[in-house]
Every structure is written in structure tokens, then in C-alpha cells.
Structure 1
Amino acid sequence: MPEDPIAHSELAALTRRFEEVDQKNDREFGIIKSDLTAVRLQVGNLDQKVDRLEGRIEELGQKMGRNQAQIVELLTRLVGQDPNAS
């Protein structure tokens, strides 16, 4: 049975198209993988920043508590004192 040149050329064209699409998909997958790696690094950096901020917020809360305690203590000392007395 002789080969059909039209079928052979169609098969070759389909093979080329498949290979082109496959290469394009490989490139796009590589880009997506690279972008995903970059996003993971950014998320890791953000996690570290959040951890540092949480520590700072805790420190500020402690300072505010101490300041409030000092204010209450000072106001308690002032209660009942003559404002004109030195």
C-alpha cells in the first residue's frame, strides 16, 4: 500500500504544532514556577516582618502599661493635696 503524501504532510504538521505547543507550555510552566518561587520568598519575608511587628507591639503595650501605672500613681499622690501648696 503506497504512502499517502497528503496524510503524511498533515501528520507532520500536526506533530510540529504539538511540539510547538509542548515547548510553549514548558516555557510557561517555567515562568509560573519561577513566579511561585518569588512569591514564596516574599511570603517568607512578610512572615518575618509580621513577627518583628508583633514583638514591637508587645513592647509598646508593656510600655503603655508602665506609663499608665505611673500616671495613676502620680494622680493618686496629688489627690487631696492643696494645689496652692508647694
Structure 2
Amino acid sequence: MPEDPIAHSELAALTRRFEQVAEKSDREFGIIKSDLTAVRLQVGNLDQKVDRLEDRLEELGQKMDRNQAQIVALLTRLVGQDPNAG
């Protein structure tokens, strides 16, 4: 059976289109993969910042507790004293 030139040209055109789509898909997948890596890095950085913020908040809470205890101790000493004595 002789080869059909129209069929060959259609097959070549389909092959080119398939290769173009595959190439575009590969590029887009690479872009998505790169973006995903960037997002993972940002999430990791945010996670570290949240951990540091939690530590700072805990330190601040402890400092507030100490200051409050000092205020209570000072007020307790002042109770019953004559304000005019001095």
C-alpha cells in the first residue's frame, strides 16, 4: 500500500502540537514546582518567627507577673500606714 502524503502531514502536525503542549506543560510544571518551593521556604520562615514571638510573649507575661507581684508587695506595705507620717 503506498504511503499517503496527507496522512503523513496530518500526523506530523499532530506530533508537533503534542510536543508543543508537552513542552509547555513541562515549563508550567517547573514554574509551579519553583513557586511551591518558595512558598515552603516562606512558611518555614513564618514558623520560626511565630516560635520567636511565642517566646517573647512568654517572657513578657513573666515580666508582667513579676511587676504585678512587686506592686502588690508595695501596696501591702503601705496599707495601714498614716499618709501624713513621713
TM-score, normalised by the number of residues in structure 1 = 0.96
Matched, 1:70 2:33: no
The one-letter amino acid paired with 1:28 is: E
Number of paired residues?
86
| Residue aligning to 2:35 | 35
Aligned to 2:20: 20
Alpha carbon RMSD of aligned pairs, Å? 0.7
What is the rounded CA distance, in whole Å, between the counterparts of 1:43 and 1:76 in structure 2? 49
| TM-aligned CA deviation for residue 61 of structure 1 | 0.5
User: How far does residue 56 in structure 1 lie from its aligned partner after superposition?
Assistant: 0.4
Structure 2 alignment gaps of length 5 or more: none
| Percent of aligned positions that are identical | 90
- Write the distance in 2 (CA, Å) between the matches of 1:43 and 1:85: 62
Q: CA deviation at 1:22?
A: 0.2
Q: For 1:85 and 1:3, locate their aligned partners in 2 and report how far apart those are by CA, in whole Å.
A: 120
Query: 5+ residue gaps in structure 1?
Result: none
Structure 2 length-normalised TM: 0.96
Query: What residue identity is the alignment partner of 1:37?
Result: T
Any idea what SS the aligned residue of 2:81 has?
Answer: coil
Q: Which runs of 4+ in 1 moved over 6 A?
A: none
Match for residue 59 of structure 1? 59
